[in-house]
Homo-oligomer: A and B are copies of this chain.
Amino acid sequence: MRFLIILVSLLTLNFSNSQTSQENSVFIDKIYDEALSNGKSYEWLDYLSNQIGGRLSGSINYERSVKWGKEELNLLEIDSVWLQPVMVPKWVRGAPEYAHIETRPGNNISVPIVALGGSISTPSIGISANIVEVKSFKELRDIGRDSISGKIVFFNRPMDVTLINTFQAYSGSVNQRTQGAVQAAKLGAVGVIVRSMTTTLDNYPHTGSMYYEGLSISQRIPAAAISTNGAELLSSMLSLNPKIKFFFRQNSRNFPDVLNHTVIGEITGSEKPDEIIVVGGHLDSWDLGDGSHDDGAGIVQSMEVLRIFKSLDYIPKRTIRVVLFANEENGLRGGNKYSEVAKLKNEKHFFAIESDAGGFTPRGISFDTSDTEFKSLKKFEKYFNDYGVSFLQGGSGADIGPLKDGNIILAGLRPDPQRYFDYHHAASDTFDKINKRELELGAATMASIVYLMDNYKL
């Protein structure tokens, strides 16, 4: 029997090292067919979104999502599933926020706001003050302390709707949200209102992280996002009468760090078990919607990669690890911890891909690697021609970013970006905004590139 075993091993080895273009195409077709015919991502996301819902770090819902993720991965009968502990920030929104524009004493127009993640509360009676509109930190500094002190600063620079890549438009505006409070507090402002980061005009305020950086506790001021329609209204009213007052009240609070977990599952590699391929997204979300696009989609697509491999009886050569990262939104603690542990254990990560840009039709895979490596990878692009997916150089994903070490090839799934910021961090990020086929195509795209990378440079 030994002879036969050796022969079979040799044949298997030979096959695995010399996948032809034709074999790759056939297998990738099978991946897409499986995702579109028997996919489980949509059903999983239905549960995660509608039965669990928003799952902010440190919340009960986050704990429930960890339990769910672990159980579902166990059902896939992969080689191992475990939890990686990580201390995360705990921020709680508290009672619903309220705000109004006071056009004259007793005449108030309410506008929708939400506290920014990490923001302190207002005093329980709220804050009422004159309000100064600015479009940039430079404009804020030019106005200066004398005119800012004691007032609320209203950051109202819209996302640039003419940018086709909405993520680029987001990058161009989001510093108002993340650093606005620090910049305004330094000039004596008593609160900050930020125009929501979205390309639409609607009534949803969009939350997101903000930081106090070096500010002492006594210097900190509360910060909230206002809906874009609310921002337009406020701006109009200010242009009519710069002396109107703004009132807002919020009840948010930061608690000491708590223990959360990143969920990890893997299929051990059959040939190079020590070389790890990561496919992942982040399991936490903001608390307003149910986090279907950000990043429930990335979670179920990543899980689906392993399900597809199991279902097609594909035996990976390298170790394929699905990672459901904790605490991307307000801390990146899960991603940092994962990378820290990997270094401690001297793990070799060969490739990592993250899906954290929504569950829309996949249009590209972005690679963060050397020009030489990208040129070499570019030869795989042909396998995606029929699926409308192209390769580009750029970023990957926040959670896998800390793994960057000069060797690992990092990648990010790039879905169509037009609708993403309609829902991002808002109460409107819900399961009904997900299209089943689009979600499944994203999962198949991830599985296909993971398959190719599993067979790359063996």
Contacts and interface: CB of A to CB of B under 8 A. Distances in A.
A200 interface: yes
B37 A436 contact: no
A363 interface: yes
Contacts of A155: none
A441 B37 CA distance: 31
Contacts of A145: none
A418 B439 CA distance: 10
Contacts of A419: 435, 437-438
Interface of A: 32-33, 36-37, 161-162, 164, 166, 199-200, 361, 363, 386-388, 416, 418-419, 422, 435-438, 441
A442 to B, nearest CB: 11
A36 B437 contact: no
Contact of A164 (B32, B161, B436): B32
B441 A164 contact: yes
Contact of A36 (B32, B161, B363, B441): B161
20 contacts: A32-B164, A33-B162, A37-B161, A37-B162, A161-B437, A164-B387, A164-B388, A166-B437, A200-B436, A361-B361, A361-B416, A361-B418, A363-B388, A416-B416, A418-B435, A418-B437, A418-B438, A419-B435, A419-B438, A422-B435
Nearest to A199: B437
Contacts of A435: 418-419, 422
Given A164-B387, A361-B361, 12 more contacts: A32-B162, A32-B164, A37-B162, A164-B441, A361-B416, A361-B418, A363-B363, A416-B416, A418-B435, A419-B435, A419-B437, A419-B438
Contacts of A438: 418-419
